[in-house]
Structure 1
Amino acid sequence: MKAVFAIPGDMHRKTGGFIYEAEVLAALNQIGVQTTHLELPDSFPDPTPDDMARTLAALAAVPADVPIILDGFVAGTIDPQGAANLASPLISITHHPLGYETGLTPARASMLINMERAALAQMAHVVVPSPHTAAMLCANFGLAEHNITVAPPGFRCVPTDPAPPQKPPLILCVGLLAPRKGHDTLLAALAGIVDLPWCAEIVGKAHDVETRDALLQQRADLGLTSRVTFTGELDRPALNARFSAASLFALATHYEGYGMVFGEAMQCGLPIVSCNTGAVPHTVGDAGILVPPGDPLAFGAALRQMLSDPNLRSHYAKSSAAKGRALPTWHDTARIIANVIGRVI
């Protein structure tokens, strides 16, 4: 079998969606599905008219018997009529609906939802990372259940450091500095537990300058500058070292279509504090405590429970490690998507 995987810009960006796509592209080739990378303009999900025209021309050049796998930014905002005129069957990788991003104006969110609904109607099949996303697309975007396949992300073995976690306990958070990740909620929660011994690190690059500056100002206003570190984006060895040093993983996210970083935390056996939203309950399960999103008091109370009760923390750590051992590999994910490619040919 052959396929083309169309991704806008640099596919090696360290966000969950792009990591998923780069890993799937490599794994498809490794299991025998000849998959060519097609780099599209990087302006998606806000393509200029010229970039949309260039994108449709590049996709039209693909032979009609070769399916095209589309990155979610492209699949959610491609011109529906242009997509309908393409000869190749289209497969969308939809991580989560674009209009559900936190911080959008109501008008912007509505526009993206309407665009994505029309664009997804032109797909031969849609691949999603979780049952939650599949159910949402059926309920809110008019897709038929038989046209959606769940392909959870795979995971590589994360090497663990046999050294004990650092002291005081490290609360690790990994996530893009974007409103949806809820770092402002995490900071407010941490301000309520300053009587306990802990330090915290928030790992991730800035999605935009405004969000980054607001978080830095909030940290200063709360008097947390000496206890909370923003480390920026880390390479894989450095990030693995931070997972090994941590005692607890915390992400106050407003929404996740899956949340790959939770899998990495579970591979390291870290107890988790996060939010009861999106696919998080399905992903995390009994590996941690989940509270309502956007509630600093509830999040802080959960952190306090974890830090104050070693037995409770050990209980969740054991559950986390068990779930981490059961996670699929990228070859498992690629085989699911290979089946989809076979079906649409």
Structure 2
Amino acid sequence: MVKHLVFAVPGDIATPTGGYAYDRRMIAELKQLGWRVDLIDLGDGFPWPDHATRASARMRLLTTTAGCSIVVDGLALGVLPEAAAQVAGRNPLTALVHHPLALEMGVSPGQAEALRASEKAALAVVQRVIVTSATTARLIASEYDVPSERISVARPGSDPARLRQGSRDSTVRLLSVGAVVPRKGYEILIAALATLIELPWRLTIAGDRTRDLHAVAQLDSEIARHGLGDRIATLGAVSAEQLAALYAEADLFVLASHFEGYGMAYAEAIAHGLPVIGTTSGAIPETVPPDAGLLVPAGNVSAFASALRQAVGDDGLRDRMASASRAAAARLPTWRQSAEVFARALEPLT
């Protein structure tokens, strides 16, 4: 018998972020494994939907076939606790948590507390929680009171990737990948690079510039304030082909994230054999082995600048980290392996 699953996401699943990329790929892989997967769009504006969107999302979930297993992306489920309680009474319900909503940057303490309470209430009624890292699993268990036996870890997968070729001259090509939102720490990266003016580097930032216009304006302002416009290219969202080419041409991956529930861009950098400069926040140390990168505390400009200075100024260090990165790439799970873990978590509910 074909296993049937409803996968509910907030808004357009083609949105260029790591979370949506995970959802897209997991749906595709589950279909390859023989599942029938129906997609539901719960509407835009999450995690701050208006009343009409909230009501519409509730109705879309409640009109699914009774008894059919439903997976809801946590960006929506975390702010729909009442709907989750109703749905869980008629359908096996699984929450897919990329990272807790309250840990997103750019929210006030009051908003963070409201998100934490809402998500905790929603997670209390679901039968299963799937997360993308062991770090997030520990957070969900310790801070949201979800029993560990109800949590499964299905890490994002990786595709075979062309190993980096690097630059062909004396300029060190830096690559940063991620939507321009406060959590990605671009203000830390720019402030750190401003202290390395005398070194030969160029930075390319590839990431959606439509999600947070205030963060985009702040990034552009900081680049201009430090006089770095001729050394930093901000491309916005790029195609998969363009992104693969950027990884292959880079010498060093750099991203100053304040928190990552997994950090798919870091894993992509490892898959391409790139050395990494990042932070120790969230699940990043799970993805980036100590010898493949330099990880420093999040939000620390001087520490990030010091790591950049070491890596930009030392070809041998970059080569050693790249070698370790290539070795780590072989240990990353494939998307098929990740989907098999995902499927095993759902099978008891189907």
The TM tier, using the shorter chain, reads: over 0.9
User: Structure 1 residues 161 and 96 mapped into 2: Cα distance closer, same or farther (>3 Å)?
Assistant: closer
Distance 1:166 1:177, change over 3 A: farther
1:312 maps to 317
Distance 2:169 2:23 in 1: 34
Per the TM alignment, residue 163 of structure 1 is displaced from its structure 2 partner at its CA by 7.3
Residue 262, structure 1, aligned to residue 271, structure 2: no
Please list the CA deviations of residues 72-92 of structure 1 after superposition, one character each: whole Å capped at 9, or x if unmatched: 1122111x2332222011111
CA separation in 2, counterparts of 1:342 and 1:32? 12
Structure 2 unaligned segments of length 5 or more: list them: none
Distance 1:239 1:305, change over 3 A: same
- For 2:318 and 2:91, the matched residues in 1 are separated by 51
Please point out which of 211, 214, 238 is paired with 1:234. Answer: 238
- The answer for the alignment partner of 2:86 in structure 1 is 85
Distance 1:25 1:328, change over 3 A: same
1:68 match: secondary structure:
strand
Paired position in structure 2 for 1:153: 156
**Aligned match of 1:250:** 254
- Which string of whole-angstrom CA distances, capped at 9 and with x for unpartnered residues, describes residues 38-65 of structure 1? 1221222122222222222221222232
Paired residues in the alignment total: 344
Alignment of 1:173-252 (within 5 A): 173-206=176-209, 207-252=211-256
Q: Which of 41, 44, 47 does residue 45 from structure 1 map onto?
A: 47
Identify unmatched segments of 5+ residues in structure 1.
Answer: none
2:78 counterpart residue number: 76
| Matches for 1:258-297 after TM superposition, within 5 Å | 258-286=262-290, 287-297=292-302
Give the counterpart of 2:67 among 65, 68, 81: 65
Deviates more, 1:245-254 or 1:292-301: 292-301
**Counterpart residue identity of residue 243, structure 2:** L
- From 298, 314, 327, the equivalent of 2:303 is 298
Match of 2:130 in 1: 127
User: In 2, are the aligned partners of 1:203 and 1:234 still within 8 Å (CA)?
Assistant: yes
Root-mean-square deviation (CA, aligned residues, Å) is 1.4
The normalised TM-score by structure 1 is: 0.96
Q: Deviations over 1:294-329 (max 9, x none)?
A: 111111110111122222111111111111122112
Displacement of 1:20 in angstroms is 0.3
SS at match of 1:85: helix
Q: In the alignment, what sits opposite 1:27? A: 29
Write the letter of the residue equivalent to 2:296: V
Query: Partner amino acid for 2:299?
Result: G
Kept in 2, the 8 Å contact 1:202–1:229? The answer is: yes
CA separation in 2, counterparts of 1:215 and 1:7? 29
Q: CA deviation at 1:99?
A: 0.8
- The aligned amino acid for 1:150 is V
1:236-292 per-position Cα deviation (integer Å, ceiling 9, x unaligned): 111111111110000001000000001110111110000111111111122200011
Given that 2:166 and 2:173 are in contact with CA atoms closer than 8 Å, whether structure 1 keeps it comes out as no
The structure-2 alpha-carbon separation of the partners of 1:290 and 1:161, relative to structure 1 and needing over 3 Å to count, comes to closer
Aligned match for 2:20, one of 15, 18, 25: 18
After superposition, the Cα gap between the structure-2 partners of 1:197 and 1:149, relative to the gap in structure 1 and judged at 3 Å, is same
Q: Which amino acid aligns with 2:315?
A: P
- Per-residue deviation, 1:229: 1.2
Please say if residues 105 and 182 of structure 2, whose CA atoms lie closer than 8 Å, have aligned partners that are also in contact: yes
Q: Distance in 2 between matches of 1:134 and 1:330?
A: 20
Give TM-score, length-normalised by structure 2. 0.95
Q: 1:185 to 1:35 in 2, by over 3 A?
A: same
